[in-house]
Amino acid sequence: MADMANLSKAQVPDITAGRDAVLGAALQAFFEHGFHGTSMRNIAARAGTAVSHAYYYFPSKNDLLRTLVVGVTGDLIALLKAAQAEAGTDPGEQMHAIVQAHVTLHTERQAEAFVGNTELRSLTPEDRDIAVALRDQISTLFRVVIENGQKQGGFHCPHREEAVLAIVTMCTAVAGWYRPEGPLTAATIAERYGNLALNMVGYEDTQNRKRISS
């Protein structure tokens, strides 16, 4: 048998490319037909590979779904934290920034976000616990921003928990209806949703003493 160290790059199977092809095929199949309407054979055919190869990369459909859901949710958390950090210390700026980041991911990676939200129920109990814990981190991030805004006097929000749920839900829902060819650009939607969120928490600029308009 040839020594793997002496094989050329062309001779070494591109495992990463094959895995990504199967994962991408699964994403599109789940997005179009749902988790339960898709088989590993469907996924392999979309990926242009054998079913045995699909199983080599992912032992089951459940593994594929978990990888997609955990991956996009983890990326969202990272984006939200980065947006919050870049926004500075003002809770109003932070809220606007994290809402924009949330909506942007749901338009730029619409299929992943849609599958991650609608197929949560299809995960195994163990995988669902992991996904829910990640989603709780998102809610906590929004909650902390609102709490800080209340403490600093810029947010006038009597129902904090309801506000967190409403803001996260409206951002998440974008993946279900957004269309690139629609009348509003993704950037416009993100900007307007940022303003809507500020209105929902009763934001008042402590220096200019005026509300943000939507």
What per-residue confidence (pLDDT) applies to 119?
97
Confidence of residue 43 (pLDDT cuts 50, 70, 90): very high
In the CATH hierarchy, which fold is given to the domain comprising 13-59?
Arc Repressor Mutant, subunit A (1.10.10)
Identify the DSSP state of 210: -
Residue in the block written with tokens 């790059």? 9
Q: Does the pLDDT at position 210 exceed 80?
A: no
Query: Are 77 and 113 contacting, i.e. CB atoms less than 8 angstroms apart?
Result: no
- Percent of the chain having pLDDT more than 70? 89
Confidence band (pLDDT; 50, 70, 90) for 206? low
Q: What is the pLDDT of residues 118-170, one digit of tens each?
A: 999 999 999 999 999 999 999 999 999 999 999 999 999 999 999 999 999 99
Instruction: Locate CATH 1.10.10.60 in the chain.
Output: 13-59
For CA atoms 117, 120, 133, 22, give the dihedral sign: negative
Residue 214 has pLDDT above 70, yes or no: no
Predicted TM-score (pTM) of the model is 0.87
Distance CA 36, CA 203 (A): 43
Q: What is the mean pLDDT of the chain?
A: 91
Q: Which residues of the chain does CATH 1.10.357.10 include?
A: 62-200
Which CATH homologous superfamily contains domain 62-200? Tetracycline Repressor, domain 2 (1.10.357.10)
pLDDT digits (tens, 9 = 90+) for 178-202: 999 999 999 999 999 999 999 999 9
Helix, strand, coil percentages, rounded to 5, for the chain: 70, 0, 25
The pLDDT value recorded for residue 65 is 98
pLDDT tens sequence across 44-85? 999 999 999 999 999 999 999 999 999 999 999 999 999 999
pLDDT score, position 166: 97
